[in-house]
């Protein structure tokens, strides 16, 4: 009945209207798909030429791989920071933009790279060579591993050559003038004599009083200094393979079976010691004849050790009469080893033996037969290994159960604890910079401060720290970062205000001392009363470390003393104050031993400066357009 009604309806007016509406909807969908093309995924354009998403992805992955290799595990922690990843992506993109801008300038300068130049550059790359010659199979295999096709790779080489021929010609032509090198060489050899008066802030802190108003003012102005970090209190269970091993019982039969199954671990292979004479003549026939002649002499009564010392090409063993160290099967050249193990008793001689090194005569010195350590001797070791194997299996089994129980009962760790007999432990309040075990592990700490776990009030997944320990966490308490009340940090604020006032007083007294010195007054009583330390240093050089870095920088910025010393008051990093007195500058006009290296370094510095200038100029003259969707695109890790 239903099918008959449908057939009747299909012939009616309503059915035809529906039919045409369907046709129209398909047509509009087609137009819509044309009008709504996929968004441009290229991250940037330089003068209407795109930095493609493929180029960016490749460059970004290469940079991540380089950083991973350089920084190891610490990079993984950095890569978990979205702000760091965003900055890294921007850095990679800017590098590609700069490269494209330089390429376009090279093209505008009518520089062209021919196909043959590209081929020659590729053929010369050592990565694609085998036995010193370009190997096409190696070339194609390496490109395949890197997911590159020959055309794309050739074009990348063309771009590199383009830059080398344009920017490289400018950069590599830079050099330092002899007068510049001499001037810098003289500055590096220069020596300065100085006096340093140091005024300790701690000295002026004694007896200072701090008012409530000063405390309140400082506290409000520096509230960020008195913030407590965010903290969590974590419940956790620990699965420990070592703890599991303690409760494992092993029968004597199991020990005996394990010993029999792993007998190779307790077997010492047969070893031999031999002496040999090696003849390594390039003429194989001549070498063999020389070896046979020596063997005949030995059979005739000649001393083996004496002939080895005189004739063997193996000079190291020759010193000991041809004697070699003890060895077992699988160590020596196969033919040498076969002949050595064919000898029966000490003193036996082999025939002349050919190896990859030449012709040998081998004399057996001793044999250590194969031995097997008895069960009773290794029983303790067998017990330890069997327990470890059982603990490893049990650990994996318990880890799986722990994962299932934690997932099925997400609200707490009670069921996990009850079913597996694991004690629920508590971290106490810890901050993100805490090194309290076990939360000094990066993976555990990351989960402990997981906003998702906190919001969902759920158990974590199983976190495997190493092959023998695994954890499940549940956040019990969370305290956000907050400014501590003044009453709780009063002592810290008092110390900070006191130090601030002491630094101000020390600064004031340093100026008084400077004025006295400039006037030529006797300051001996002043420095004694103020507990000022005076140090005199002569012959200070720029690369030295005789003084605090702040003092070193200031000292070599000071003008040469004319008729009187040059003086300056300055603050040090620890809050102390100093008065620096430059008394003498000694210069040298003679070239130093490091002058040639200095000339190279100055030339390199100029080249780098030119390279930077070229990049800035190319970038400034280019019309660069960033794709606004770039930061919104998913990161392909």
Of residues 596 and 166, which shows the higher confidence score? Answer: 596
d(CA 90, CA 220) in angstroms, rounded, equals 37
CATH code at position 178: 1.10.4030.10
Looking at the structure, tell me whether residues 22 and 161 fall in a common domain. no
Residues 80 and 97 in one domain: yes
Would 536 be classed as within a structural domain? yes
* Residue 47 and residue 159 share a domain: yes
Q: Is the pLDDT of residue 634 over 60?
A: no
Please tell me whether residues 209 and 237 are part of one structural domain: no
Could you tell me if 12 and 99 lie in one domain?
no
Return the pLDDT at 59.
85
Closest by CA to 143, choosing from 159, 127, 132, is 127
Residue 285's domain is classified under what CATH number? 3.10.50.40
Per-residue pLDDT tens digits for 547-561? 999 999 999 999 999
Residue at 200 is within a domain: yes
Average the pLDDT over 457-473 and give the result. 92
Same domain, 73 and 182: yes
More confident residue, 173 or 331: 331
Q: Give the highest mean pLDDT range of 213-222, 531-540, 586-595, 627-636.
A: 531-540
How confident is the model over 371-411, as pLDDT tens digits?
Answer: 888 998 888 888 888 888 888 889 999 999 999 999 999 99
pLDDT band for position 25 (cuts 50, 70, 90) = very low
CA distances from 90 to 70, 85, 97, 631 (A): 20, 9, 10, 9
Average pLDDT of the segment spanning 429-444: 88
Per-residue confidence (pLDDT) for residue 12, from 0 to 100: 44
Give pLDDT, residue 36.
43
Q: Report DSSP letters for 286-320, one per residue.
A: HHHHHHHHHHHHHHTT--HHHHHHHH-S-HHHHTT
Within 8 A by CB and 6+ apart from 526, the residues are 512, 513, 516, 532
- Residues 31 and 42 reside in one and the same domain: no
Range of the domain at 277: 270-369
Domain termination residue (choose one: 480, 503, 525): 480
Tell me whether residue 255 is in a domain.
no
**Which residues are within 8 A (CB) of 71 and not within 5 positions of it... i.e. 6 or more apart?**
78
Domain boundary among 435, 455, 480: 480
Q: What pTM did the predictor assign? A: 0.47
619's enclosing H/E stretch is helix 595-621
The predicted model gives 338-343 an average pLDDT of 94
Q: Which residue has the higher pLDDT, 244 or 6?
A: 244
- The answer on 558 and 410 residing in a single domain is no
3-state DSSP assignment of residue 382: helix
Q: Which of 108-112, 576-580, 603-607 has the highest mean pLDDT?
A: 576-580
Q: Is residue 129 part of a domain?
A: no
Asked if residue 127 is part of any domain, the answer here is no
Q: Is-cis flag, bond preceding 438, omega within 30?
A: yes
Same domain, 66 and 162: yes
Quickly state the pLDDT bin for 459 (edges 50, 70, 90). Answer: very high
Question: What pLDDT was estimated at residue 155?
Answer: 80
Q: Structural domain tally of the chain?
A: 5
Asked, for residue 137, whether it belongs to a domain, the answer is: no
Q: Which of 229, 228, 236, 227 is nearest to 448 (CA)?
A: 236
Backbone CA torsion sign across 528, 529, 533, 538: negative
Mean pLDDT for 570-584 is 93
State the DSSP code for 630: G
Tell me which residue of 622, 621, 623, 627 sits closest to 44, measured CA to CA: 627
Are 50 and 7 in a shared domain? Answer: no
Residues 511 and 582 in one domain: yes
Q: What mean pLDDT is predicted for residues 73-93?
A: 81
Domain endpoint, select from 334, 369, 404: 369
**In terms of C-beta density within 10 A (0-12 exposed, 13-18 middle, 19 or more buried), how is residue 581 classed?**
buried
| Same-domain pairing of 42 and 31 | no
Q: Is 443 a member of any domain?
A: yes
Nearest CA-CA partner of 604 in 239, 205, 173, 254:
173
Quick: pLDDT tens for 114-125.
788 888 888 888
């Amino acid at each position: 009945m239903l099918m008959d009604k449908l057939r009747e309806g299909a012939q009616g007016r309503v059915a035809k209207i529906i039919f045409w509406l369907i046709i129209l909807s398909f047509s509009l969908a087609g137009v819509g798909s044309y009008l709504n093309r996929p968004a441009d995924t290229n991250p940037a354009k330089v003068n209407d030429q795109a930095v493609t998403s493929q180029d960016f992805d490749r460059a970004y992955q290469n940079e991540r791989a380089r950083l991973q290799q350089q920084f190891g595990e610490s990079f993984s922690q950095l890569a978990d920071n979205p702000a760091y990843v965003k900055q890294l992506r921007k850095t990679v993109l800017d590098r590609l933009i700069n490269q494209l801008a330089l390429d376009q300038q090279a093209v505008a300068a009518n520089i062209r790279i021919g196909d043959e130049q590209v081929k020659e550059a590729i053929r010369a790359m050592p990565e694609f060579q085998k036995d010193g010659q370009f190997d096409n199979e190696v070339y194609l295999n390496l490109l395949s591993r890197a997911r590159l096709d020959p055309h794309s790779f050739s074009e990348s080489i063309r771009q590199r050559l383009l830059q080398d021929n344009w920017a490289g010609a400018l950069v590599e032509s830079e050099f330092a003038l002899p007068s510049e090198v001499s001037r810098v060489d003289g500055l590096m050899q220069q020596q300065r004599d100085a006096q340093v008066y140091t005024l300790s802030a701690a000295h002026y802190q004694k007896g200072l009083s701090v008012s409530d108003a000063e405390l309140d003012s400082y506290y409000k102005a520096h509230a960020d200094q008195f913030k407590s970090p965010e903290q969590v209190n974590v419940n956790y269970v620990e699965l420990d393979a070592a703890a599991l091993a303690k409760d494992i019982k092993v029968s004597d039969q199991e020990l005996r079976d394990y010993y029999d199954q792993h007998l190779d671990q307790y077997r010492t292979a047969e070893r031999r010691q031999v002496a040999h004479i090696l003849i390594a003549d390039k003429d194989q026939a001549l070498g063999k004849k020389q070896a046979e002649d020596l063997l005949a002499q030995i059979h005739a009564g000649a001393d083996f050790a004496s002939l080895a010392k005189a004739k063997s090409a193996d000079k190291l063993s020759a010193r000991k009469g041809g004697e070699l160290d003890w060895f077992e099967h699988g160590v020596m050249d196969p033919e040498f080893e076969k002949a050595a193990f064919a000898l029966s008793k000490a003193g036996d001689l082999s025939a002349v033996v050919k190896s990859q090194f030449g012709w040998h005569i081998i004399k057996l010195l001793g044999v250590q037969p194969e031995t097997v350590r008895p069960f009773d001797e290794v029983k303790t070791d067998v017990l330890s290994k069997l327990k470890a194997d059982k603990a490893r299996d049990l650990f994996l089994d318990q880890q799986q159960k722990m994962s299932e129980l934690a997932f099925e009962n997400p609200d707490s760790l009670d069921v996990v604890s009850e079913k597996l007999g694991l004690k629920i432990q508590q971290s106490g309040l810890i901050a993100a910079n805490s090194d309290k075990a076990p939360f000094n592990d990066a993976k555990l700490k990351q989960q402990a401060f997981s906003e998702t776990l906190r919001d969902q009030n759920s158990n974590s997944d199983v976190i495997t720290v190493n092959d023998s320990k695994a954890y499940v966490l549940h956040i019990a308490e969370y305290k956000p970062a907050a400014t501590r009340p003044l009453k709780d940090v009063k002592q810290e604020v008092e110390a900070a205000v006191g130090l601030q006032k002491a630094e101000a007083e020390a600064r004031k007294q340093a100026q008084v001392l400077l004025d006295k010195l400039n006037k030529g007054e006797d300051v001996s009583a002043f420095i004694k009363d103020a507990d000022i330390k005076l140090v005199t240093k002569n012959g200070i050089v720029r690369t030295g470390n005789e003084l605090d870095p702040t003092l070193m920088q200031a000292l070599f910025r000071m003008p040469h003393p004319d008729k009187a010393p040059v003086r300056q008051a300055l603050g040090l990093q620890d809050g102390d104050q100093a008065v620096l007195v430059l008394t003498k500058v000694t210069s040298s006009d003679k070239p130093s031993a490091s002058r040639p290296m200095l000339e190279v370094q100055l030339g390199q510095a100029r080249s780098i400066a030119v390279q930077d200038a070229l990049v800035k100029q190319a970038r400034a003259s280019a019309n660069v357009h960033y794709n606004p969707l770039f930061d919104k695109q998913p990161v392909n890790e």
